[in-house]
Structure 1
Amino acid sequence: MEISQTVKREIDSLIDIGNKIIQKASQARSTLEGNDLAEVSSWVTRIGQLVRKLYGENSQHFANFDRAISIDSFYSIHSNWYRQIAEVQGIALTINHDIENDLIGSIKGLLQAEIFANFLEIGEHLLSEGYKDAAAVTIGTVLEDGLRELCKRNNISITKPNGAPLTIEPLNTELAKSDIYSKLVQKQITSWAHIRNKAAHGQYSEYDKSQVEMMLLFVQSFAEQHLA
């Protein structure tokens, strides 16, 4: 995933501001106030927003940020108390490292793959317990979410002109049209989408457990090949 120049400019700006704040804090004989304190507050807010957008609130980066800003007297900043500012600056430097070494896309990809794997395990468990219909819906939903993620990665629109989200078959068509995968894979996805739709509409007698098992195997293989 290519990081936009806007994001790169933002992190460069935040690091520059952080350096200035640390310099001011190291020389401050009394607590920072007024415009200096407002600058700290804005800086902290911008870093928090960036961490959320790039990594999400369940990431280690966000946990580190939240821990740093949650300490007592965070904003009582002076020459004897500015370690907390250095910790937040360290998070900004880490983000910059991830961007410069093209790690952001890899992190997001790993997280997305983990989410898909967890839901596929749920589908597999439902199948083993004899709930083929619930399994078909769950596995089909994972497939649709996977197609949507694949579109995002390849700058393919996932919405209609009116803003409504595209469903599984239009997503499938657009991906095949863009040569993200072959026409054969497109046909396979179409067939599994039919089963998901039948399950979602209560047409349970029109497919059997063995077909849902094959559907699971396909989606597992598809996720490993295209979403890992």
Structure 2
Amino acid sequence: MAGNIRTSLNFKAALTATLCATLKAWLSIIRIIRDEIAGGWLFTVRGLVAAEVFADFLEMAEHLLESGYKDPAAVMGGSVLEEHIRQLCNKHAIAIDEEKNGKQVPKRADRLNAELAAATAYSKLDQKQITAWLDLRNSAAHGKYNAYTDEQVGQLLAGVTGFMARVPT
């Protein structure tokens, strides 16, 4: 009987030690995850995924331009820029929607651009360049195809690519 009690106590002690070690390991993992999230890791991964998707769209836009389709290339490049601006607003806690007539509506890209520059997310020079790119994109989207050239669309695509690399989300 004493042997059974001793075996039972040894089993309970071993089980408790194993459980404690497992809990300590899980707590360590949870702390590491918490610290990584607090340090911005989640946003870094989100930014990397977004950058990869944007790079694909910009590559498609470049292919369109090289194939003689400057207008869809301009719209696609400008759309990538607009989405990057929205993500920068999220990063800098700038609202991307506003209330109008009791409804939430998206703010215009020009306004978001101005708010980001005012929040020093990027420089006034960047703001002015982005305004020009947005104007080119709007011309393409609204059928003003003679308002810009193939070369300007190429500059838009190269500029957006460089801007996104310099000012990541």
TM-score range, shorter chain: 0.7 to 0.9
Match of 2:3? none
The question of 1:99 aligning with 2:34 is answered: yes
Q: Which amino acid aligns with 2:155?
A: M
- How far apart are 1:112 and its partner, in Å? 1.4
Once residues 47 and 30 of structure 2 are traced to their aligned partners in structure 1, the CA distance between those partners, rounded to angstroms, is 16
Q: Which amino acid aligns with 1:204?
A: Y
- TM (normalized to structure 1)? 0.57
Once residues 195 and 95 of structure 1 are traced to their aligned partners in structure 2, the CA distance between those partners, rounded to angstroms, is 48
* Residue 174 (structure 1) aligned to one of 115, 126, 136: 115
Once residues 96 and 197 of structure 1 are traced to their aligned partners in structure 2, the CA distance between those partners, rounded to angstroms, is 47
Moved over 2 A (4+): 92-99
Cα separation, partners in 2 of 1:98 and 1:111, compared to 1, 3 Å: farther
Whose helix proportion is higher, 1 or 2?
2
Match of 1:183? 124
Whose strand proportion is higher, 1 or 2?
2
Once residues 95 and 224 of structure 1 are traced to their aligned partners in structure 2, the CA distance between those partners, rounded to angstroms, is 32
Of all paired residues, the percent bearing the same amino acid is: 42
**Bigger CA radius of gyration:** 2
Unaligned runs of 5+ in 1: 1-25, 27-89
Cα separation, partners in 2 of 1:98 and 1:130, compared to 1, 3 Å: farther
The question of 1:143 aligning with 2:84 is answered: no
SS at match of 1:152: helix
5 Å-filtered alignment, 1:209-228, equals 209-227=150-168
Q: What do the CA deviations read for 1:39-93 (whole angstroms, capped 9, x no partner)?
A: xxxxxxxxxxxxxxxxxxxxxxxxxxxxxxxxxxxxxxxxxxxxxxxxxxx8x98
Aligned length: 140
Of structures 1 and 2, the one scoring higher in RCO (CA 8 A, sep 6+) is: 2
Once residues 136 and 97 of structure 1 are traced to their aligned partners in structure 2, the CA distance between those partners, rounded to angstroms, is 44
Q: What do the CA deviations read for 1:15-46 (whole angstroms, capped 9, x no partner)?
A: xxxxxxxxxxx9xxxxxxxxxxxxxxxxxxxx
Unaligned runs of 5+ in 2: 1-14, 16-25
Once residues 141 and 93 of structure 1 are traced to their aligned partners in structure 2, the CA distance between those partners, rounded to angstroms, is 43
Once residues 126 and 98 of structure 1 are traced to their aligned partners in structure 2, the CA distance between those partners, rounded to angstroms, is 42
Contact 1:176–1:183 under 8 Å retained in 2: yes
Q: Which amino acid aligns with 2:136?
A: I
The question of 1:156 aligning with 2:102 is answered: no
* Residue 108 (structure 1) aligned to one of 15, 35, 46: 46
- TM (normalized to structure 2)? 0.76
- How far apart are 1:184 and its partner, in Å? 0.9
Once residues 155 and 211 of structure 1 are traced to their aligned partners in structure 2, the CA distance between those partners, rounded to angstroms, is 32
Contact 1:136–1:199 under 8 Å retained in 2: yes
Contact 1:123–1:138 under 8 Å retained in 2: yes
